[in-house]
Chain A
Amino acid sequence: MKVKAFLLGVLALAGVFVGFDLQNSHGTSFAAKKAANYDESVTLPMAKYPETGKHIKDAIAAGHSAVCTIDRGGAADRRKESLKGYPTKPGYDRDEFPMAMCKEGGKGADIRYITPADNRGAGSYIGNHVENYPDGTKVLISVK
């Protein structure tokens, strides 16, 4: 038992050093991504999409997940849950955060009515960035 514990200790210590090396050889972004548990990131430009940007910021500040785990297969069901009780309104689109394509979306997602040009542009921007990411990819959504 003592030998086993010793070996586990050595392995754990080795892991610490390996982690340190990876951090140095791949740069801080790798370490930061690993620590924050995401694979990719998308930053929405606030200057271009002020309304949608503010909505995302507010939703994250209110406690919604900034990390989106892509799960396209479950998106239609989550959309039904998130938009329940939010009818369409002439002259506005409904923005949902987290988005329905994210596992974190669905029931309880934050919904806001936003002017169409802003919301559609923002949606296209995010969609374009995540288009080639497979399901399961964790994407950090931020606004700058």
Chain B
Amino acid sequence: MNKLLISYSQLIITNTDEEHSSFQWSDEDVKRGYSVQRGAVAIEAINNDESEIEVIVGSYLPSEKATVTYSLPFPVRADSIIVTSPGAVTLPFSVPKGTYQLHVEAIPLQQPTDDGLFPVRYQLYFDTNGSK
């Protein structure tokens, strides 16, 4: 499983061919839980600890264990994406070129704690059906 340390409460998903700039989080972005720029999105995380990142291409099956889910359109332009967080490593994943509905689910792997330091699995569904 790919591991990523979440920092600044955000998970960044970007096209590999995109030189993304930094995300400007507006108050509206904070309310809705994500900030978008061309070919990239920053999603609000529920923790600031080491987390598992899973990328799934196919039909979206909502998990009952997910405490938060975000859904938004996401185009993949170069058969791959990168998942990262500020200051962390970058994790590349193969995703066929296409237009998707991206569903990001956060599933706590332990009972959430007051300090936000608990492991979470983030499941990123690239759903072709949702884009129609």
Contact = CB atoms under 8 A, between A and B. Distances in A.
Given A83-B48, A128-B20, A75 B9 contact: no
Interface string A43-58: 0000010000000000
A122 to B, nearest CB: 8
A123 B7 contact: yes
A58 B57 CA distance: 46
B87 to A, nearest CB: 4
Nearest to B20: A128
B96 interface: no
A29 interface: no
Interface residues of chain A: helix, strand, loop or mixed (majority): helix
Nearest to B88: A72
A43 B114 CA distance: 32
Nearest to A119: B8
B21 A128 contact: yes
Interface in A93-142: 93-94, 99-101, 116-117, 119-131
A23 B24 CA distance: 38
Given A86-B115, A88-B114, A76 B5 contact: yes
Which size class do A's interface residues fall under? 20 to 34
A80 B117 contact: yes
B129 interface: no
B29 A117 contact: yes
Interface residues of B, number: 32
Contact of B87 (A72, A83, A88, A119): A72
Contact of B42 (A100, A101, A120, A122): A120
Contact of A127 (B7, B30, B48, B50): B7
Contacts of A76: 5, 49-50
A122 B30 CA distance: 14
A101 B88 contact: yes
Interface in B8-65: 8-10, 12, 20-27, 29-30, 35, 42, 48-50
Contacts of B116: 83, 87-88, 94
Contacts of B42: 120, 124
28 contacts: A48-B24, A75-B87, A76-B5, A76-B50, A80-B49, A83-B48, A100-B87, A101-B5, A101-B7, A116-B25, A116-B30, A117-B25, A117-B26, A120-B8, A120-B23, A121-B22, A121-B23, A123-B8, A124-B8, A124-B22, A124-B42, A126-B87, A127-B22, A127-B85, A128-B22, A128-B86, A129-B22, A131-B90
Interface of A: 48, 70, 72, 75-76, 79-80, 83-84, 86-88, 93-94, 99-101, 116-117, 119-131
